Chains A and B, each alone.
Chain A
Amino acid sequence: MIGNGDATRLLGHELASRLRTGELSSRDITLAHLEAAERQNHALNAWLVIERDKALAAADAADARLAAARMEGSEATAGLHPLLGLPVAVKDLVSVAGGQCTAGSRILEGYVAPYDAHVTGRLRDAGAVILGKTNMDEFAMGSSNEYSAFGPVSNPWDLDTVPGGSSGGSAAAVAAFHSPFGIGTDTGGSIRQPAALSGIVGLKPTYGRVSRHGIVAFASSLDQIGPLARDARDAAALLHAVAGRDERDSTSAPIPVPDDLLRLPTSDDEAAGWLKGKRLGLPAEYFVKGMEPGVEARIREAVDALEAAGATIQEVSLPHTDYGLATYYIVVPAEASANLARYDGVRYGKSIRLPGADFIADYLATRGDGFGPEVKRRIMLGTYALSAGYYDAFYLKAQKVRTLIKRDFDEVFGSGIDALVAPTSPSVAFKFGARTADPVAMYLSDACTLPANMAGIAGVSLPCGLSDGLPVGLQFIGPPWSELELLRFGRAYEAITDDADWRKLEPAQLALADDPSGPTPAERAAALAAAA
């Protein structure tokens, strides 16, 4: 019999099989994860709210469904959804009816979501157990989670470093064994980059794969919702649960979601054998200036391992990669400034009404006080880029360069390349404060992830070892609707590196997070700032 403490160490599919045999109940699993989250949130700050009562009610409902299916027989248990009764950490910009949805911002403090997001409804249908809402950079703008209005998050590998962002809370929660599954959003790397820095798996689906209904909008032509997990099979199961057409989001595509996402190979031989004859492109431009040598070394080793296992590696060029950052930081602030115009302090959210002042003064005060520095910076950039006289020079120009970036990918995939293999992030997790003084330094964190968003295509990050004791992320990027293929590449890479020593390691400072009298992430950040 497995004790509660051990249940947190199991993967989602391992928990699912123990649920079906009756070895564990959803209540056991949920309690074990809730206890870990509650015990360590002081040190990690990964969760903005932990919903113990709601989670246990969902667990009991799942246990009732399991019991009924067991009475019916093995066919009924086999037909149960793989997520039934399993915990999920949900980023706090996904609406869960009746609960908070701050998007990491003071301007949405106190707001109660009146309805479920599409993904939330899908999770409920599957019988998943939502443990709570996770921390994030304000309005998903950031790559370190330091721009949250509710404090930074510590990376369980080194509590003085960031977990990445903007889905930093979900990534840290999954890495710290608080939940086997996490939901994030990725506009320029916000799932893949924190997955890389936290040593887990994160997938950004093709634009249109997952409905955005009920998530707080950031940059609407790029935002996508996707899974975080500790292996490729779990990421695939979570993607399968939430993907597919939803008529409430007219950009969600009527493209079938492959059921083979639920049938990634269980045997390592089969998973690795699939690689034979596959063609992987190695884009020269992704080995950027300033990339840490340890990161490059791990990526080159991973590429060698894939080649040794039968994949063909071919150097390719995506010549407009270098223009991605500037393009992204025009398109995204422009869309964000338009989306965030809705926060007027009238219908919902923070509101300042100044006695005797006109409504413009109320807007100025509400928004000036309600938004944090990075959000204001992006609203300013976007407002400027869209303003009269500058639209052609900035926004239209960026949209044209976006075409060139997309064509680079079209040409490579059109030439018979199945997927690209590249680093996810040019660096491992960095210390608190290392990039907050210079916005451009922070923006460079996403240099290897944002081109996929600009082109609307899919990408996945998987752990591929350590550099200086911190996780390195390996990225596979594929054409539109290639999530299944990408996860097969990921599963194959897991299979061929199954014996690697680094796979057996737990996050190095996870045990430190058990200390209820230790410093919070905010205190660690302040101490580092004082020492600098």
Chain B
Amino acid sequence: MAGLTRADVEHVAFLARLRLTADELDRLEGQLNHILDQYAKLSELDTSAIPPTAQTIELENILRADVAGPSLSVEDVLRNAVSTEGDFIVVPPILGGDDA
């Protein structure tokens, strides 16, 4: 399997929304490639006819009645937010400057 380049590591860090220092990027490049080498072992197995397992217990379609039950108060929900206004959490603007 092709290894990760430094540029790949930087790209994945951006996708994962992680700001990393140059040192961290250096270290991760080596470590991630070392770990990816271990993954290569799986190519020894022919799995073309094997179905994937996403969960291990045979439960399906667990449903409940569509009725409202007790839930947290607005006050409890907002207590951990960094910034609030009235009954709302203040979020950073995600649309361009003119719309913000």
Q: Does A527 contact B (CB under 8 A)?
A: no
- Asked if B99 is an interface residue, CB under 8 A from chain A, the answer is no
Closest to A397 in B: B42
Please pick, from B18, B47, B50, B57, the residue contacting A251 in the complex, using a CB distance under 8 A: B57
> Roughly how many angstroms separate A403 CA and B50 CA in the complex, as a whole number?
7
A323 to B32, CA, bound (A): 18
Do B18 and A380 touch across chains, with their CB atoms under 8 A apart?
yes
Known contacts A208-B59, A329-B35; is A114 also within 8 Å of B16 by CB?
Answer: no
Considering only residues 362-410 of chain A, those with a C-beta below 8 Å from chain B are 362-365, 367-369, 371, 373, 376-377, 379-381, 383-384, 387, 393-394, 396-404, 406
Docked-complex contact A403 and B34, CB < 8 angstroms: no
Shortest Cβ gap from B6 to chain A (Å): 13
| Per-residue interface assignment for chain A, residues 431 to 462, with 1 indicating a CB less than 8 Å from any chain B CB and 0 otherwise | 00000001110000000000000111100000
- Distance to closest chain A CB from B62 (angstroms): 4
Report yes or no: A323 in contact with B41, Cβ–Cβ below 8 A: yes
Contact A401 B45 (CB under 8 A): yes
**CB–CB B34/A359 < 8 A:** no
0/1 string, B48-76, CB within 8 A of A gives 1: 00111111110100101000000010001
Question: How many Å lie between the Cα of A373 and that of B21 in the bound state?
Answer: 11
Q: In the complex, how many angstroms separate the beta carbon of A447 from the nearest chain B beta carbon?
A: 12
**Contacting residue for B18 out of A111, A376, A455, CB 8 A:** A376
Chain A at the B interface: SS class: helix
Tell whether A402 pairs with B57 under 8 Å between CB atoms, given A112-B79, A348-B81, A381-B35. no
A362 to B59, CA, bound (A): 40
Find the A residue at minimum CB distance from B34: A440
Contact (Cβ within 8 A) A367 B17: yes
- Given known A208-B57, A377-B31, contact A398–B42 (CB-CB < 8 A): yes
In contact, A403 and B92 (Cβ under 8 angstroms): no
Q: Give the distance to chain A from B32, nearest Cβ to Cβ, in Å.
A: 6
Cross-chain contact of A377 among B28, B52, B55, B93 (Cβ < 8 A) = B28
Min Cβ gap B69→A in Å is: 9
Q: How far is the CA of A341 from the CA of B4 in the complex (A)?
A: 22
Bound-state CA distance A502–B91 (Å) is 58
Residues of A within 8 A of B42 (CB): 323, 326-327, 330, 397-398, 401
Say whether A263 faces chain B, with CB atoms less than 8 Å apart.
no
Interface residues of B in 1-52 (CB under 8 A from A): 1, 4, 8-9, 12-20, 24, 28, 31-32, 34-35, 38-39, 41-45, 47, 50-52
CA distance A310 to B32 in the complex (A): 48
Q: How many residues of B contact A (CB 8 A)?
A: 50
- Residue in chain A with minimal CB distance to B40: A326
B52 touches A347 (CB 8 A): no
Given contacts A387-B12, A399-B52, contact A362 B92 (CB under 8 A): yes
Contact of B80 with A363 in the complex, beta carbons under 8 Å: no
A323-B41, A380-B13 known; A456-B32 Cβ under 8 A: no
CA distance A384 to B17 in the complex (A): 13
Chain A residues in 8 Å Cβ range of B76 = 114-115
- B47 touches which of A349, A376, A401, A456 (Cβ 8 Å): A401
Is A376 a contact partner of B24 (Cβ separation < 8 A)? yes
Contacts of B94 in A (CB 8 A): 359
Complex Cα–Cα for A480 and B92 (A)? 46
Cα A206 to Cα B62 with chains together (Å)? 18
Quick check: is A40 within 8 A (CB to CB) of the other chain? no
How far apart sit A455 and B47, CA to CA, in the bound complex (Å)?
17
B51 and A330 within 8 A (CB): no
In the assembly, what is the distance between CA of A421 and CA of B32, in Å?
Answer: 34
State in angstroms the CA–CA spacing of A480 and B58 once bound together.
11
B53 contacts which chain A residues (CB < 8 A)? Answer: 399-400, 402-403, 406
CA distance A457 to B53 in the complex (A): 14
Complex alpha-carbon distance, A439 and B32, angstroms: 9
Once the chains bind, are B47 and A439 in contact (CB under 8 Å)? no
- The interface of chain A, by Cβ under 8 A from chain B, is 111-112, 114-115, 206-208, 221, 247, 250-251, 253, 320, 322-323, 325-327, 329-330, 337, 341, 344-349, 351, 353, 358-360, 362-365, 367-369, 371, 373, 376-377, 379-381, 383-384, 387, 393-394, 396-404, 406, 438-440, 454-457, 480
Q: Other CB < 8 Å A-B pairs besides A359-B91, A377-B32, 16 of them?
A: A206-B57, A221-B55, A253-B59, A320-B45, A329-B38, A346-B91, A351-B82, A359-B93, A376-B20, A379-B16, A383-B16, A384-B8, A384-B12, A400-B52, A403-B52, A440-B38
8 cross-chain pairs, A with B, having the tightest CB-CB distances, nearest first: A456-B56, A368-B19, A399-B52, A348-B80, A359-B92, A400-B47, A364-B19, A383-B16
